[in-house]
Structure 1
Amino acid sequence: MSQGILGLHHITAMSGIAQKNVDFYVSVLGLRMVKKTVNFDAPDVYHFYYGDTRGTPGTIFTFFPFGDGPRGTSGAGQANITSFSIRPESMEFWIQRLTNHDIIFSGPEERSNNNRVITLRDPDGITLELVAHDGAEVRPGWQDGPVPREHAIRGFYGVTITVKNHTLTSALLTDVMGFRLLEQNGRRYRYEVGEGGPGAIIDVMSQEGAQYGRQSIGTIHHIAWRVANEDELVRWQTILANTGLQVTEVKDRNYFKSVYFREPGGVLFELATDPPGFSIDESLENLGTDLKLPDWLESSRSSLKKQLPSIQLPVFER
């Protein structure tokens, strides 16, 4: 039986200095490094996966750290904001934590459903939100990081994209991919998919006059949506191709299989399988501690380690 698209799987962005990226997402935001590997398409660049204790789909924020490369610009045809879930009781904790780390933020701002939102930027200028909402405690965060478990980030709340023509994007989301329009607020259209709620939300900003973004350091590369297994992935590959979209062949990313395509507004989407997950080559206890390579790159391990910058994972007292 078809299960459709289930929600967010991961979001991938492009960052600068690798160590700064690690220090911010692990030491400040308290996400776990669940996998340290390389960009399979450019293996001289790391691919970091951050998430909850287990690396659960819907919690995974990933980065390609390119070092001192050119900076990108955020605009139309891109995902622009990554939103995380926190408990309402954690808002004051996060205000104090960001203040203590000298991180500039705005808010909290009241949003729909009585949610309160803090907006901030990471070291490379990527816009993030911490959304305090009822029910966030249902999803656990990283249990053993620097943030007390009761205040930990609980995975994605949603993602915001900007497009010039909302109509075409909306048609793909609702008529093809199974999303439902939840609400419209001015030029912002909110959709959900699967069971809905946090982790299954996309906001589409319709800005006809916006400039297209330039993809490089400090921008989001793509959004990945969850599907249950490879059979579902292939089914969706066919459905999307039949609409006229250019869909890639199935890619084996070791921890999931996936296909890529651009929605009509230019944003790069991916569909990714839940299995096999991040524990196929490391124990749960040791996730993210060693450099992991696909079999076809193992023969190049020594040369790759010389090319990749050295990084140190933060160590926390338990």
Structure 2
Amino acid sequence: MELKGLHHVSAITANAKNNYDFYTQILGLRLVKKSVNQDDTSMYHLFYADEIGRPGTDLTFFEIVGAGHTYPGNNSISATSLRVPDDDALVYWIDRFNEMDVENNGIEEQFGRKVIHFKDHEDQRLVLVSDQTNEGVAGGIPWSNSVVPRDMGITGLGPVKLTVPDLEPTERILTGVLSFRKTGEYTSPVTDMPKIQVYTTGKGGTGAELHVEVRPHLQKERPGRGSVHHVALRVEDEVELNEWKKRISQERLPNSGVVDRYYFKSLYFREPNGILIELATDGPGFATDEDIEHLGEQIALPPFLERDREEIEAKLKPLDTKEK
């Protein structure tokens, strides 16, 4: 078995409206699903992605109203990358960020690629990475109605960085259980720490990498708004997901078992440094209950929550997500 790459990353916001404005009006992503956290229906769960929400293009947010500031640290998912088509796109994004007062470090090089480290309005740690030299997992297709020109638009998730105090336990799970391959290392352009290790799965490239940074003397991260909750990795289908469940259980890693999220099926577990990893199937996808032309406009609930719609909607602050 081999994981196909990144599926999605889920993070925390304190304000769904401000989050929606940033990720659609500044980053130009499409809101493909406006739903709720299935484990706590009092909070929004917003899904941003490419034109139809292809697996590997999806950045999601749980709204925790009043969530405090994140104190960055160890045992965390410490950076999320977003792919753009080429180096020229990064020049466009630098101009856009500077015009819109988005905090950024300018264009740098990381693992042989051009990148821009930047932050959203809640200090979410983000990276734009150029696919100029990418030969691995294909990116998605930006939405034609985005505020960003399609040839400059974000095409999906890029490498996700983990920060841990000790490499060995995490590496053992990545290579020994999840079948990642160690494919390189580089020095961080933002922390000047010892080498960051690169692990690759599937066809490789920007859409199939986890980067692991070791910070033995760093305090454990205190999560809040702007922190990442978990990273999800792509599995072909439910048959294969059940095989992964067997493997993870054989390793005596506590796990959730297979969970039906309606838009995909999932399995969750924590690796030894405490980072939450999800394995998620590619299908059935976000068009299961909405027309592709109108994704994300209404509150979408899976069938097992539909009977509680009135009660659920009453707890949520209205969020207008219809295209103007």
TM-score by length of 2: 0.93
- Taking the aligned partners of 1:286 and 1:135, their CA distance within structure 2 comes to 34
Cα shift at 1:148? 0.5
Contact 1:26-1:314 within 8 A present in 2 as well: no
Contact 1:73-1:218 within 8 A present in 2 as well: no
Contact 2:80-2:160 within 8 A present in 1 as well: yes
Cα shift at 1:187? 3.2
TM-score by length of 1: 0.95
Worse overlay, 267-276 or 97-106: 97-106
- Taking the aligned partners of 1:228 and 1:138, their CA distance within structure 2 comes to 17
Worse overlay, 226-235 or 60-69: 60-69
Cα shift at 1:146? 0.5
Does the residue aligned with 1:67 lie in a helix, a strand or coil? coil
Distance 1:167 1:235, change over 3 A: same
Q: What residue is the counterpart of 2:259 in the other structure?
A: 251
Q: What residue is the counterpart of 1:198 in the other structure?
A: 206
- Taking the aligned partners of 1:111 and 1:217, their CA distance within structure 2 comes to 26
Cα shift at 1:116? 1.4
- Taking the aligned partners of 1:269 and 1:57, their CA distance within structure 2 comes to 16
Worse overlay, 199-208 or 63-72: 63-72
- Taking the aligned partners of 2:317 and 2:9, their CA distance within structure 1 comes to 23
- The 5 A counterparts of 1:13-162 are 13-86=11-84, 87-113=86-112, 115-134=113-132, 139-162=140-163
Contact 1:15-1:64 within 8 A present in 2 as well: yes
- Taking the aligned partners of 1:294 and 1:314, their CA distance within structure 2 comes to 20
- Taking the aligned partners of 2:283 and 2:307, their CA distance within structure 1 comes to 26
Q: Give the aligned residue type for 1:298.
A: E
Q: Give the aligned residue type for 1:97.
A: R
Q: What residue is the counterpart of 2:5 in the other structure?
A: 7
- Taking the aligned partners of 1:124 and 1:59, their CA distance within structure 2 comes to 21
Cα shift at 1:230? 0.5
Structure 2 stretches lacking a partner, 5+ long: 187-193
Cα shift at 1:99? 1.4
- Taking the aligned partners of 1:123 and 1:161, their CA distance within structure 2 comes to 22
Q: Give the aligned residue type for 1:106.
A: N
Contact 1:27-1:314 within 8 A present in 2 as well: no
Q: What residue is the counterpart of 2:178 in the other structure?
A: 177
Structure 1 residue ranges, 4+ long, deviating more than 4 angstroms after superposition: 135-138
Does the residue aligned with 1:46 lie in a helix, a strand or coil? strand
Worse overlay, 138-147 or 11-20: 138-147
Q: Give the aligned residue type for 2:313.
A: K
Q: What residue is the counterpart of 2:294 in the other structure?
A: 286
Instruction: Supply the RMSD in Å over aligned alpha carbons.
Output: 1.5
Contact 1:36-1:49 within 8 A present in 2 as well: yes
1:174-197 Cα shifts (integer Å, max 9, x gaps) = 122111111123331011101100
Give the fraction of aligned pairs with identical amino acids, expressed as a percent. Answer: 37
Q: What residue is the counterpart of 2:282 in the other structure?
A: 274
Q: What residue is the counterpart of 2:165 in the other structure?
A: 164
Worse overlay, 139-148 or 240-249: 139-148
The count of aligned residue pairs is 313
- Taking the aligned partners of 2:109 and 2:302, their CA distance within structure 1 comes to 45
Does the residue aligned with 2:241 lie in a helix, a strand or coil? helix
Worse overlay, 68-77 or 263-272: 68-77
Q: Give the aligned residue type for 2:152.
A: H
- Taking the aligned partners of 2:77 and 2:201, their CA distance within structure 1 comes to 17
Structure 1 stretches lacking a partner, 5+ long: none
- Taking the aligned partners of 1:255 and 1:181, their CA distance within structure 2 comes to 31
Contact 2:297-2:322 within 8 A present in 1 as well: no
Q: What residue is the counterpart of 1:236 in the other structure?
A: 244
Q: What residue is the counterpart of 2:190 in the other structure?
A: none
Contact 1:227-1:273 within 8 A present in 2 as well: yes
